[in-house]
């Protein structure tokens, strides 16, 4: 279970709510018009956009018989560029 910490007042969510130290949310990118379409619907229905999208994705994945993961894989580490090598462009002999 993740370690929890208290939210600062005025933070997203309820004041005094507990949030995990390590965030488990991931970002998805969708077109602006699609987002607005979903947001308008969710505002009208009193729902959160994230909850609505998660519900739709879970229903679709279940209908395709794709099992839900049991563990969250760690994010890949960024690629570090290799150390630059000394390049000798010419050799001189006397």
pLDDT in tens, 69-87: 888 888 788 887 766 666 6
φ/ψ (deg, to 5) at 83 = -60, 135
d(CA 30, CA 48): 16
DSSP at 64? T
CB-CB contact of 57 with 45 (8 Å): no
- What digits encode the pLDDT tens for the residues 31-82? 999 999 999 999 999 999 999 999 999 999 999 999 998 888 887 888 877 6
Helix (H, G, I), strand (E, B) or coil at 35: helix
Distance CA(39)–CA(73), nearest Å, equals: 29
| pTM metric for this prediction | 0.53
Helix, strand, coil percentages (3-state) for the chain, rounded to 5, are 30, 5, 65
């Amino acid at each position: 279970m993740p370690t929890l910490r208290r939210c600062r007042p005025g933070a997203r969510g309820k004041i005094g709510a507990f949030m995990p130290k390590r965030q488990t949310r991931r970002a998805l990118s969708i077109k602006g018009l699609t987002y607005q379409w979903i947001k308008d619907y969710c505002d009208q229905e009193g729902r959160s956009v994230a909850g609505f999208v998660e519900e739709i994705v879970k229903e679709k994945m279940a209908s395709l018989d794709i099992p839900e993961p049991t563990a969250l894989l760690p994010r890949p580490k960024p690629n570090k560029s290799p150390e630059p090598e000394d390049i000798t462009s010419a050799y001189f002999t006397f």
